[in-house]
Structure 1
């Protein structure tokens, strides 16, 4: 099935290049950059001065700035692609095991999970993403499941140079005690079919995907085009499913900071504690930004500011 593409004029593209340069120049001067995720040792070693941003339009134009070609650990941004795969396998049946509501709590909290008898609020908090990993694992061995996730991301990005950073994955396995607690709590409530260590292995490896802003912007393009690849015209997911994933990104993609992000930026987006954010501008573009320092909610401090500046300057918002 073919899908329509939005071709941006040269003046708009030139303005976009100017805006990205302005953002990079302004944020380069910023001293308050947040705090890197030091509870995952490899992430603690990342230079907080790093900043990259990439925008991919529906005609294939890629406009980037800063360290946009440098790979980083996408962490929870991977949950978007895992959810897409799980919906393809099980459809709406997954919503019997995970909810669709914002949590209002930190991404790694176990409080609501215990109160709500093992049903995570949404697939983007850690507990919900662990359930999604369990769904993907149910039809494969762990190694095959990890490979399937990697191949899917390579496919939607049309780039084979995307891989798991094994150093990061091992570090997460060795330090992910809170995730282990969540997995065991899910198992106790019979919302995990597989052995917790196997599920956590899949989850920690998917979070250790290494991608650049340019690769990530390309990978998320189908979500900005109603589930189609606007470059090839091939449909990846249905229009309805793309809308639902975007809705979840808008309401739950920044954990207990999702409302503030929607207020300030106004487009669906998913953050990761590696400092990356994947944002979707429906009908126009996919955007990826990376700045390792995080705010109090675990979202990129300067990445959020960069997207706020971009969307304001380009008049991009789902709210008109």
Structure 2
């Protein structure tokens, strides 16, 4: 009789520290692969010989390896949190202004906005994240303070902040984002001043966190919306499910299908080299390696998550 498979949610059979150490050793053999996001000047000088990985369990336990405590610019990983805040503010009304479909186009594309009358395909494209930013500006008295308080509470780290050098670099090189925002505004799908929305967007992208911060901060999506760091119900269990589904279908830009095939977890990447991932009901997970692939996702971060799911069986499939 065939022996039943192990339950992947049974973490007792895994030596997580040993697994993360093995992945760290494997990744170090490949340092130098990928290309940093040199179109944002402040990211161009980040060394490629960096890798960190961390996971956070609902009971507060953290396992980590590599450069897991080195801070970096989280960039588009921040879109997970601004989406959460936008949903908190206006709920289902958000979906009248942004869709929930994979794009198939690069993260900064303008192409579909013309055909779809200023409605972005999903909240994880730059266009969709600008809608979330607009909603936050309209519904919270101090949007910057709200975002910082949210990130500090989710990560349990009161020192989480922004990097003004990165934000300035984004402002000085963000011509396409300016075009996207004005295009959305031309269709009447933006309520606030375009520059105010862009400034908030650059602020969220300039948040500096490390892998441990990020693993803890995404843990609410692994625990039915409950944040263990602050003991707060951040969103409903259904809300967490919906955000996870969007991460799976759109969180790694136009590589989401391949990422699902290769890794098998809801995830959100950023061009700073960070990726957060969620094992529903089990853990929050984060990796960082600055070298990117041709789609703008961390090349070695993707490899590390692939190895983690294969070594543990912790995939949603």
* TM-score over 0.5 for the pair: yes
Give yes or no for contact 1:59–1:231 (8 Å, CA) kept in 2. no
Q: Deviations over 1:198-219 (max 9, x none)?
A: 1000000001000000000010
Secondary structure at the aligned position of 1:245 is classed as: helix
CA drift of 1:312 comes to 0.7
Listed one character per residue, the Cα deviations across residues 77-108 of structure 1 (whole Å, up to 9, x for unaligned) are 00000000000000000000000000000000
SS class of match (1:132): helix
CA contact (8 A) 1:224 1:280 kept: yes
Q: Measure the CA separation in 2 of the matches of 1:173 and 1:149.
A: 19
For residue 234 of structure 1, report the CA deviation from its aligned partner. 3.6
Question: For the residues of structure 1 that align with 2:113 and 2:74, how far apart are their CA atoms?
Answer: 25
* CA deviation after TM superposition for structure 1 residue 229, in Å: 2.4
Match of 1:296 in 2: 294
Matches within 5 A, 1:65-104: 65-104=65-104
Q: For the residues of structure 2 that align with 1:88 and 1:207, how far apart are their CA atoms?
A: 20
- Change in 2 beyond 3 A, CA 1:130/1:231: closer
Deviation at 1:156, TM superposition (A): 1.1
Separation in 1 of the partners of 2:45 and 2:255? 25
CA contact 2:276–2:286 (8 Å) conserved in 1? yes
CA contact (8 A) 1:7 1:58 kept: no
Aligned pair partner of 1:219 in 182, 192, 217? 217
- CA shift for structure 1 position 259: 0.3
- Contact map agreement 1:156 1:220 (CA 8 A) in 2: yes
Equivalence for 1:3? none
- 1-side partners of 2:232 and 2:214: how far apart? 19
Q: Is the 8 A contact 1:8 1:57 kept in 2?
A: no
Which of residues 143, 147, 151 in structure 1 aligns to 2:145?
A: 147
Alignment of 1:247-286 (within 5 A): 247-286=245-284
Q: Tell me, in whole angstroms, the C-alpha distance in 2 between the residues paired with 1:229 and 1:125.
A: 25
Does 2:137 align with 1:164?
Answer: no
The Cα shift of 1:157 comes to 1.2
How many pairs align? 309
Question: What SS does the aligned partner of 1:138 have?
Answer: helix
Shift of 1:139: 3.0
SS in 1 for 2:188: coil
- Write the distance in 2 (CA, Å) between the matches of 1:42 and 1:98: 30
- The alpha carbon displacement at 1:181 in A equals 0.1
**2:5 corresponding residue in structure 1:** none
How far apart in 1 are the matches of 2:312 and 2:219?
Answer: 18
What's the counterpart of residue 131 of structure 2? Answer: 131
Determine if contact 1:98/1:122 at 8 Å carries over to the other structure: yes
Displacement, 1:140?
A: 4.5
Q: TM-score, normalised by structure 1?
A: 0.94
Structure 1: distance between partners of 2:125 and 2:276 = 16
What is the alpha-carbon distance in structure 1 between the residues aligned to residue 245 and residue 33 of structure 2?
Answer: 28
Q: Structure 1 stretches (4+) deviating beyond 2 angstroms?
A: 6-9, 229-234
1:21 to partner: Cα distance: 0.6
Structure 1 stretch displaced more, 223-232 or 68-77: 223-232
In 1: Cα distance, 2:217 partner to 2:292 partner: 23
Corresponding position: 1:314 with 2:312: yes
Would the aligned equivalents of 2:140 and 2:146 in 1 still touch at CA under 8 Å? Answer: no
**Structure 2 regions of 5+ residues with no counterpart?**
1-8
User: d(CA) in 2 for partners of 1:41 and 1:230?
Assistant: 36
* 3-state SS in 2 of match to 1:153: helix
Where does structure 1 lack aligned partners over 5 or more consecutive residues? 1-5
Q: For the Cα contact (< 8 Å) 2:31–2:50, is it kept in 1?
A: no
